[in-house]
A and B are shown apart, each in its own frame.
Chain A
């Protein structure tokens, strides 16, 4: 109570400045940055889509391949995106990459698409700890043989986005962010030409996903995002296509799409960077500037992406590989929703009804000692040392641990989800995770 009362007499300026407004705000920054290049790209798309918009049905009922739906949807979404940027009453869209005022067309606002709410919901109370095995050990699904650019080659029609996204640079410019999908948690089909995927992700480069809510729908959190896609590749949604698959691992350029109330994959008619079952990247693209990355390992591709983003933020969240797979530490505490050291694509099991976002020091101590016991390391002595930030991203309770055989080491329990980490202290004061995974090096900035 004394601290609470001591805060009472802080400076007047601080008090008046922080007066609650009672208003709510939706974070929606980082959108204007892609407006200009997007306008140029979508202008080309709409130019080619216009004849189809005038001649094809848009409800998809009579379609056999879903093509018209996709094109209409894409074009409408293009209009919607641009209108959102330009305000109400329609958007001015440049036809051609050299924007000449006399070449601009007006897309009426009533043509924009506003899809119903996505069929899946993010639970914002769930936070996934970024505790994965080393990137080079990640494996996805078999991915070869499906080249998106060639899907409609024999129909003579061109997918709208297809003409716009031919290299990595335009994807970087157009996306809100690149992310690495660690787990496609759930997928829900919407009719026969669309799906929404709830995805656990790791932010990589070129911005971030900062649209957390839209129309009262949580569309992203720090590590979950809703991704909505139209189908290209058939109409059954169970064949090779551009749609995300459960168990798949992807590196995706994402952009918030207001009409979807979700994010979309930029250029997924042209490219879908996927990690295959042998740990190699596959672009699903016939464009040489995109498929030249086929065969890259995941770390190689991420490094390439990092270099290509130039002045943009580099890899912002390196997955934190821990030691070899162990029993979930959370088993020791029924209220913690996290399983550390899991494989990417492996769903986390919900171990209790309530997720504790910030666990107490006492809980951390119990969790730590019980987890050592679960791992067969016996009854350890643990002494709390500090709250620390490991690898500049994981807040953790740090303990000095003495094993029954007298060996000393450090153990940590992450504050957010109770993830368990065994550590050695380095000479420079930083920490490394035990078990010899090289990428686990990092500095632990200890706050005593």
Chain B
């Protein structure tokens, strides 16, 4: 199914947008809502996602359309969040996630691709459940309570697991001279 939708994009068929909306609309909306906590803003993000996807495929041909669209949505939503919170910080999930990640002192000129490579290596080396929980928290920006409920764990257990994973990731980034 994904391949067929990508083909529609590549053929510049406008059906690509309607099918993608039907197939991945709620997925992208949920990502945006996790970050922005606003249905209206999330909807705008999703609409912007279709536009960016339309402008990106071709020349790009993603291996996983779902992940590709998710990344676009997340990026747009984080940009919006950042713009709205430049001067004011609250207690939303992004703020909390950022607080949790504050120990990663990355230099501004750090190579983003290199960081991603290390994170990928790290996540692939972790047990799948750990890796999934980490991605739910810091990619999907799901709150701890929802993650705990999904796994049947207590919130403390999830918090502690993430704490330990951050410690290991930091160690790995340090070993590669990425984190200061």
- Among A6, A24, A28, the one with the most B-chain Cβ atoms within 10 Å of its Cβ is A6
Cα–Cα, bound, A13→B74 (Å) = 16
B60 at the A interface (CB under 8 A): no
A325 at the B interface (CB under 8 A): no
A12 at the B interface (CB under 8 A): yes
A239 at the B interface (CB under 8 A): no
- Per-residue 0/1 for A1-29: is the Cβ within 8 Å of any B Cβ (1 yes, 0 no)? 11111111111111111111111111110
Selected from A7, A20, A125, the residue in CB contact (under 8 A) with B156 is: A125
Selected from A12, A125, A395, the residue in CB contact (under 8 A) with B63 is: A12
Distance in Å from the Cβ of A57 to the closest Cβ of chain B? 39
Distance in Å from the Cβ of A358 to the closest Cβ of chain B? 6
- Do residues A124 and B132 form an inter-chain contact, with CB atoms below 8 A? no
Q: Looking across the interface, which residue of chain B has its beta carbon closest to that of A17?
A: B132
- Do residues B155 and A447 form an inter-chain contact, with CB atoms below 8 A? no
CB contact list, B1-47 vs A, under 8 A: 27, 30
Cα–Cα, bound, A288→B16 (Å) = 77
| Given A10-B123, A20-B30, A222-B157: A4 in contact with B97 (beta carbons within 8 A) | yes
Chain A residues whose CB sits within 8 angstroms of the CB of B154 once the complex forms: 124, 212, 218, 221-222
- Per-residue 0/1 for B68-95: is the Cβ within 8 Å of any A Cβ (1 yes, 0 no)? 1011001100100010000000000010
- Among A13, A18, A22, the one with the most B-chain Cβ atoms within 10 Å of its Cβ is A18
| Given A3-B106, A24-B149, A213-B152: A358 in contact with B160 (beta carbons within 8 A) | yes
Cα–Cα, bound, A324→B174 (Å) = 38
- Do residues A19 and B27 form an inter-chain contact, with CB atoms below 8 A? yes
Chain B residues whose CB sits within 8 angstroms of the CB of A13 once the complex forms: 64, 67
Cα–Cα, bound, A26→B135 (Å) = 21
- Per-residue 0/1 for B103-125: is the Cβ within 8 Å of any A Cβ (1 yes, 0 no)? 01010101011011001100110
Chain A residues whose CB sits within 8 angstroms of the CB of B78 once the complex forms: 1, 4-5, 8
- Among A11, A16, A127, the one with the most B-chain Cβ atoms within 10 Å of its Cβ is A11
Distance in Å from the Cβ of B138 to the closest Cβ of chain A? 5
Selected from A1, A3, A16, A416, the residue in CB contact (under 8 A) with B67 is: A16
Distance in Å from the Cβ of A213 to the closest Cβ of chain B? 7
Chain A residues whose CB sits within 8 angstroms of the CB of B138 once the complex forms: 4, 7
Q: Looking across the interface, which residue of chain B has its beta carbon closest to that of A23?
A: B150
Chain B residues whose CB sits within 8 angstroms of the CB of A21 once the complex forms: 150
Chain A residues whose CB sits within 8 angstroms of the CB of B124 once the complex forms: 11, 14
Selected from A9, A12, A17, the residue in CB contact (under 8 A) with B116 is: A9
Distance in Å from the Cβ of A317 to the closest Cβ of chain B? 14
Selected from A10, A20, A358, the residue in CB contact (under 8 A) with B159 is: A358
- Do residues A12 and B68 form an inter-chain contact, with CB atoms below 8 A? yes
B101 at the A interface (CB under 8 A): yes
- Do residues B64 and A25 form an inter-chain contact, with CB atoms below 8 A? no
A415 at the B interface (CB under 8 A): yes
- Do residues A222 and B156 form an inter-chain contact, with CB atoms below 8 A? yes
Distance in Å from the Cβ of B48 to the closest Cβ of chain A? 16
- Do residues B156 and A357 form an inter-chain contact, with CB atoms below 8 A? yes
B142 at the A interface (CB under 8 A): yes
Cα–Cα, bound, A292→B159 (Å) = 44
Chain A residues whose CB sits within 8 angstroms of the CB of B136 once the complex forms: 18, 20
A93 at the B interface (CB under 8 A): no
- Do residues B152 and A27 form an inter-chain contact, with CB atoms below 8 A? yes
A387 at the B interface (CB under 8 A): yes
- Residues of B bordering A, CB below 8 Å: 27, 30, 62-64, 66-68, 70-71, 74-75, 78, 82, 94, 97-98, 101, 104, 106, 108, 110, 112-113, 115-116, 119-120, 123-124, 128, 131-136, 138-140, 142, 146-147, 149-157, 159-160, 163-164, 167-168, 171, 174
A-B residue pairs in contact (CB < 8 Å), sample of 18 = A1-B78, A4-B101, A5-B75, A6-B106, A8-B78, A12-B63, A14-B135, A17-B128, A18-B131, A18-B132, A18-B136, A20-B140, A26-B152, A124-B155, A212-B153, A218-B154, A357-B160, A395-B164
